[in-house]
Amino acid sequence: MQRRNFLKASAALGMAAAAPWVSALGRPRERLRVGVIGTGMRGQVLLSELLKLDGVDVAAICDIERFMLDRALQALAEANRPAPRVFTGSDEAWRDMLANARLDAVLIATPWELHAPQAIAAMEAKVAVGCEVVAGISLQDHWDVLRAQQRTGTPYMLLENVCYRRDVLAVLSMVRQGLFGELVHVQGGYEHDLRAVKFNSGEPGKPYGGGVEFGDKGWSEAKWRTPHSVRRNGELYPSHGIGPCAQWLDIHRGNRFTRLTSHASKARGLHDYVVKQGGAGHPNAKVGFALGDIVTTQIACENGETVLLTHDTSLPRPYSLGFRVQGTGGLWMDLNQSIYLEGRSPEAHGWEPAQAWLDRYDHPLWKTHGERAAGGGHGGMDYFVVRAFVEALKAGAPMPIDVFDAVAWSAITPLSEQSIAEDNRTLEFPDFTEGGWKGRERIFALDDRY
């Protein structure tokens, strides 16, 4: 390709990436026809949030398991919504749905390995994508998702709900107003005892605990998620931690990730759980789990900040995402629900409870929509992320968590796997924006819209 043609092609890709939904739909819309691929436990939550929104018709649902499809249809009936078209019967039924359901948008809530192919097919069909985490499995998956979005101009949003957590957004308000001074270091992670999620009895309708089966003998996440812990060693679920960190640090908005290094501890927790719950003679007691119980990932940023992520899902522990925001003016930590702001906190070198500050800097999104979000999934976060996707589409606005965010946050997984496999080698972080990060402006949570 000649340089002139290459530059034209690159410019076209950049325009497609920046183009709003109006480029694919023709004009902003008051109503959207939305489909759901995957009506399992997570898909049910997303569906319930869709049903709270104005201007949304749930036009089609797709799953291979009749048990969960029937639950989804029951939820629609109880909400007095028309029955959608149902696509099932084969692993490829979702392709039928994309081709024939006349959708404006689709929410993808399937096992991780299906996210990239389903998102790419949807974008090629000009169906906007709201994709559950993660964006892909291999690093190439992430490039393929990005190129599909750039090629088609179809909107893509990663449905990372923790970016909309109330304290996370209040801290974002504080960061943007300079209360922490210049940021130096942030932390986050996924520190959640998932043993009763990764193992169950295999009985439909009983997803949590009750046995130590997984894979073909498991049900729900134990069926598809646990095999990743058998064969993979890395930061398998980065976006809950990295999403808020990236927003605080303006990643892709004048900043970017530059290098990554990961370490993994030994793997003991899942085996220990199987033995305690199922006995040393259970066949799964012989399974070797690759996933280290504690995986830590360090990331360097272009502007000099550092990030620390922790993945901790195989040991007994209370839930925490381990957030920490630290700058030249002080720091906030969610684990102890405390804050220290130099010259503002009442005691020098002493913590104070964070809640009064979080209340004072409550984000406009929560001030305006918090009452309607009440009772929503994960403390209301799920309402906000689904609402943001729908409202941005209807307005023809850029996606609040866009394709560049999606692939960079999710690519931490294959990069961490490579780093660990190569004796904790430090890797260069791909610049998915190809230099565009230098001039891109903030779009996430600027006001009370999305």
Specify if 377 maps to a domain. Answer: no
Name the residue range of residue 426's domain. 165-364+402-438
E-assigned strand segments in 283-336: 295-301, 306-312, 324-327, 330-333
Which residue has 């891109």 as its token pair? 440
How far CA 144 is from CA of 128, 154, 231, in Å, comes to 16, 14, 23
pLDDT at 7: 37
pLDDT at 25: 46
Residues 210 and 84 in one domain: no
Residues 141 and 176 in one domain: no
Q: Is 57 helix (H, G, I), strand (E, B) or coil?
A: strand
CB atoms within 10 A of CB 346: 6
pLDDT at 377: 86
Query: CB–CB of 410/239 below 8 Å?
Result: yes
The domain boundary residue, chosen from 95, 128, 162: 162
Number of domains in the chain: 2
Quote the pTM value. 0.93
Gyration radius from the chain CA atoms: 22
Specify if 389 maps to a domain. Answer: no
- CA distance linking residue 175 with residue 109, whole number of Å: 32
Residues 304 and 170 in one domain: yes
Mean pLDDT by 10 residues, the chain (450 residues): 39 41 58 97 96 96 96 96 97 97 98 98 98 98 98 98 98 98 98 98 96 98 98 98 98 98 98 98 98 98 98 97 98 96 95 98 97 90 97 96 98 98 98 98 96
Which residue has 């759901």 as its token pair? 36
Query: CB–CB of 205/67 below 8 Å?
Result: yes
How far CA 9 is from CA of 2, 3, 14, 213, 244, in Å, comes to 11, 10, 9, 50, 33
Residues 129 and 77 in one domain: yes
Q: Is 156 helix (H, G, I), strand (E, B) or coil?
A: strand
Specify if 381 maps to a domain. Answer: no
DSSP state of 182: S
Residues 115 and 182 in one domain: no
The domain boundary residue, chosen from 162, 179, 200: 162
Q: What is the CATH number of the domain that holds 100?
A: 3.40.50.720
Residues 29 and 113 in one domain: yes
Listed in sequence order, the residues at least 6 apart from 286 whose beta carbon sits closer than 8 Å to its beta carbon are none
Specify if 302 maps to a domain. Answer: yes
Residues 132 and 243 in one domain: no
pLDDT at 375: 85
Specify if 446 maps to a domain. Answer: no
- CA distance linking residue 45 with residue 48, whole number of Å: 5
Among 364, 373, 395, smallest CA distance to 52 is for 373
Residues 286 and 300 in one domain: yes
The domain boundary residue, chosen from 141, 162, 183: 162
> How many CA within 13 A on the CB side of residue 230?
15
Residues 154 and 228 in one domain: no
pLDDT at 28: 79
Q: What is the CATH number of the domain that holds 182?
A: 3.30.360.10
pLDDT at 6: 35
pLDDT at 16: 41
Specify if 443 maps to a domain. Answer: no
Specify if 93 maps to a domain. Answer: yes
Query: CB–CB of 200/206 below 8 Å?
Result: yes
Helix (H) and strand (E) counts for the chain?
17, 15
Residue type, 192: H
- CA distance linking residue 420 with residue 297, whole number of Å: 10
The length of the chain, given as a count of residues: 450
pLDDT at 13: 44
pLDDT at 376: 86
Residues 111 and 189 in one domain: no
Residues 424 and 340 in one domain: yes
- CA distance linking residue 277 with residue 263, whole number of Å: 29
Specify if 427 maps to a domain. Answer: yes
Residues 180 and 305 in one domain: yes
